[in-house]
Amino acid sequence: MNSHWLKPSAWTLTCALMMTAVPMRSAHAQDNGATDIQKVVPQGKLPGQLAPYFIRSGEGERWLVGGLVATLIARGEDTGEMFETAILTGGRDANVPPHTHARSHEALLVLDGEVEVWLGNGHYLMHRGDYASIPPGTPHALKMRSHRTQVLSWTTGKEVGPLYKALGQAYAGYVQPEKVDPAIAADLKKKAEATADVRFDARPLAKGTPQRVQNATIPDKNVPYVLAAGEGQRMLAGDQLFTFLGDQKNSDGRFIAVMTEGPPGPMIPAHYHEKHTENFFCLDGIMTMRANGETLTVHPGDYVHVPARTIHAYQLNSPYTRFVGFLTPGLFESFFRTLGDKYDGYVYPQKPGPFRFDRVLAKINELDLKLVESPAPKK
Amino acid sequence: MNSHWLKPSAWTLTCALMMTAVPMRSAHAQDNGATDIQKVVPQGKLPGQLAPYFIRSGEGERWLVGGLVATLIARGEDTGEMFETAILTGGRDANVPPHTHARSHEALLVLDGEVEVWLGNGHYLMHRGDYASIPPGTPHALKMRSHRTQVLSWTTGKEVGPLYKALGQAYAGYVQPEKVDPAIAADLKKKAEATADVRFDARPLAKGTPQRVQNATIPDKNVPYVLAAGEGQRMLAGDQLFTFLGDQKNSDGRFIAVMTEGPPGPMIPAHYHEKHTENFFCLDGIMTMRANGETLTVHPGDYVHVPARTIHAYQLNSPYTRFVGFLTPGLFESFFRTLGDKYDGYVYPQKPGPFRFDRVLAKINELDLKLVESPAPKK
């Protein structure tokens, strides 16, 4: 392992500054204000209240909606009404018919397979790693094109999750039934409109050949967009590559979406945030998460919710580990821009880049970051 | 868990027949002829001789070839010269230039990203789960189109693996350098032609728009073909879905390629084979493998090699677990066709299908299958 969260020159500075900025303490300390959040809820169960939790791939609250399984891994009640996350799993022709959310911002990340997406006036063909940002008021729809399709849908607030309950039925399975009618009845759509932030659209969808997603940059304002896998604003810190799929400008400050990848390295220093909520959805490899004293081993498809005031840390353990996070609100963008340097490559580098934690420390009082552990690497 | 390797009616029959067909014994028994193979080699290291082994995602013998990292996870010396397996990882424009193997049959399975493949007269765009069968003598080439592309290349014999050594240089990294020239020099191609079963082709590749892979069936003879993700001949046994990506007719009996998926279930009964070699490459979820007394937890990207005369068993642990195996030679096809029933769906069913182990037992002497453990489920 030649990757370190801090290079020696930076450690010294960090440790010196931490002594004055934030007293050193353990993750179990009772005096740091971050212990009002309960311990991590056992894996596989949504907590039903604001709490840090860990949920294994496939688990969650499941609804069969037309031809797809909507697995809610974060509901309004689990996140302090800040956001919801659903994994949509289905076969060819499973779809979410055209609709608009008036108040909720949605982001889609394709996890597997091929999916046709209508977004405003755009019509796209999306694959694993492709991303879409859907501001409130944007008509959109999706139709799965492969036999194994999985899409992560992230939405602000608490008003989109109830959509699946209204449109579907509680479901014990994890994959769609082998034969299924993908159509959703009109009365269920009305029921959904009465209980969720959704308005279905009777206009027919554009036909023709969808455009392959090729966009390589994100806009500097809150408009609908798609982004090709691997693209976005890339920042390097040491050997970890952070890619902004969405920043504050794209969501009026509501959230940022950040992909992180890297090689095996040490655990980053334990810390917590006062004002923003984080979550970690693992896409590749193995990572270790610490959250309020629990140590969790996280594999692809596993999810960890880390609300504000949860002491946490992570470590990448596999030669190629990648996870995505949606940070709500988006104010932690300044941390990544302070720590990271712009990077042209598309994979983490063989030789780690500069690690400018000194820059973070210089403005730590402006960042929503409380360190609770020495950043010195474990021997 | 409502899935069982055997339904109760079948167990009784099995147990009765096993008493006569194969004496019951433990996986550690010294008298069953399957213990001449050493214990499983520790993870992360290729054994350098025929042996069962387990290797974690990313590990293996790595060569930097043009713009891609070729990670050999099975070389001729590790498999008794039966097959080789490489994982090709690269960014956009990394490529394997046009070439032909005179004696080796190759199969490609896309693991991530988008890759353009030329195959005989075909020109295709392939994504995760798409498969290509490339008989000896078929000109082919591939070019990566996404920033994160991974392709599994499986080849018969021992004459293709040396290609990467000849074309590239030993490489400590796991991902390609951030900036890399994808071209491969002419002198390296000559070196490769002198040491590996490869002949490079100077003819220019077809230009134009590649065709999206849509083929849904495999041919009944040994010709080049591509197959769309999820397609192939699907057979159901209980709640496990077996999909033939390739059968004996497609390879003159040299191998079969089988995708297996299912929900969590019990460990299948330990068994071994006298005549064929198996391997397990995990794509989704978590599985447990037993091999010669070792118990291994296997995650996406991990690989287990199980030569003939290795006592082994597997268990699916995750709500959706999927692995692919290349079985060499292909004679075990008859087992799947005996046990399984043709299946129209594309995912494992909510209600398990029939489990006809009675049919397997009725012709067990014709199958390359030695049971060494009672199939009764653990309580």
Percent of chain B with pLDDT over 70: 88
Write the Ramachandran bin of A60: left for phi over 0, alpha for psi from -120 to 50, otherwise beta: left
Q: Any CB–CB contact under 8 A between B33 and chain A?
A: no
Assess whether A283 and A140 both reside in one domain.
no
Assess whether B168 and B85 both reside in one domain.
yes
- Calpha distance B174→A348 (Å, rounded): 10
- Residue B37, pLDDT above cutoff 60: no
Residue that finishes a domain, picked among A202, A225, A248: A225
Assess whether B220 and B316 both reside in one domain.
no
Assess whether B27 and B90 both reside in one domain.
no
Residue that finishes a domain, picked among B192, B225, B258: B225
CA distance B119 to chain A (A): 22
Please indicate, yes or no, if residue A240 is contained in any of the structural domains.
yes
Please indicate, yes or no, if residue B3 is contained in any of the structural domains.
no
- Residue A99, pLDDT above cutoff 50: yes
Per-residue pLDDT reduced to its tens digit, A336-346? 999 999 999 99
Question: How many independent structural domains does chain A possess?
Answer: 2
Contacts of A299 in chain B (CB under 8 A): 286, 299-300
Which residue from B minimizes the CA distance to A2? Answer: B173
Residue B44 identity (one-letter amino acid): G
Q: Is A130 helix (H, G, I), strand (E, B) or coil?
A: coil
Assess whether B74 and B221 both reside in one domain.
yes
pLDDT of residue A38: 58
Per-residue pLDDT reduced to its tens digit, A108-136? 999 999 999 999 999 999 999 999 999 99
Domain that holds residue B97: 55-225
Contacts of B56 in chain A (CB under 8 A): 318
Assess whether A79 and A218 both reside in one domain.
yes
Residue with tokens 């799993």: A89
Assess whether B64 and B189 both reside in one domain.
yes
Given a contact cutoff of 8 angstroms between Cβ atoms, the answer to whether B320 and B261 are in contact is yes
pLDDT of residue B375: 59
pLDDT of residue B203: 84
pLDDT of residue B33: 45
- Calpha distance A151→A168 (Å, rounded): 17
Pick from A256, A311, A313, A316: nearest CA to A286: A316
Contacts of B91 in chain A (CB under 8 A): 230, 346-347
Nearest 5°: CA angle at B119, between B211 and A228? 45
| Mean pLDDT confidence for B21-46 | 52
Please indicate, yes or no, if residue A51 is contained in any of the structural domains.
no
User: Would the CA dihedral through A360, A361, A365, A369 be positive or negative?
Assistant: positive
Assess whether A221 and A79 both reside in one domain.
yes
Q: Is B261 helix (H, G, I), strand (E, B) or coil?
A: strand
CATH number at residue A270: 2.60.120.10
- Residue A19, pLDDT above cutoff 70: no
Please indicate, yes or no, if residue A46 is contained in any of the structural domains.
no
Please indicate, yes or no, if residue B378 is contained in any of the structural domains.
no
User: For B173, which of A284, A318, A350 is closest by C-beta distance?
Assistant: A350
Residue that finishes a domain, picked among B210, B225, B240: B225
- Calpha distance A312→A292 (Å, rounded): 6
- Calpha distance B119→B274 (Å, rounded): 35
Assess whether B212 and B66 both reside in one domain.
yes
Chain B segment 181-210 residues within 8 A of A by beta carbon are none
Contacts of B319 in chain A (CB under 8 A): 57-59, 174-175
- Residue A69, pLDDT above cutoff 90: yes
Per-residue pLDDT reduced to its tens digit, B331-358? 999 999 999 999 999 999 999 999 999 9
- Calpha distance A305→A322 (Å, rounded): 16
Assess whether A218 and A75 both reside in one domain.
yes
Q: Any CB–CB contact under 8 A between B146 and chain A?
A: yes
Q: Confidence band (pLDDT; 50, 70, 90) for B36?
A: very low
Q: Any CB–CB contact under 8 A between A170 and chain B?
A: no
Which residue from A minimizes the CA distance to B231? Answer: A147
CA distance B344 to chain A (A): 8
Which of A201-215, B4-18, B274-288 shows the lowest mean pLDDT across its residues? B4-18
Assess whether A12 and A81 both reside in one domain.
no
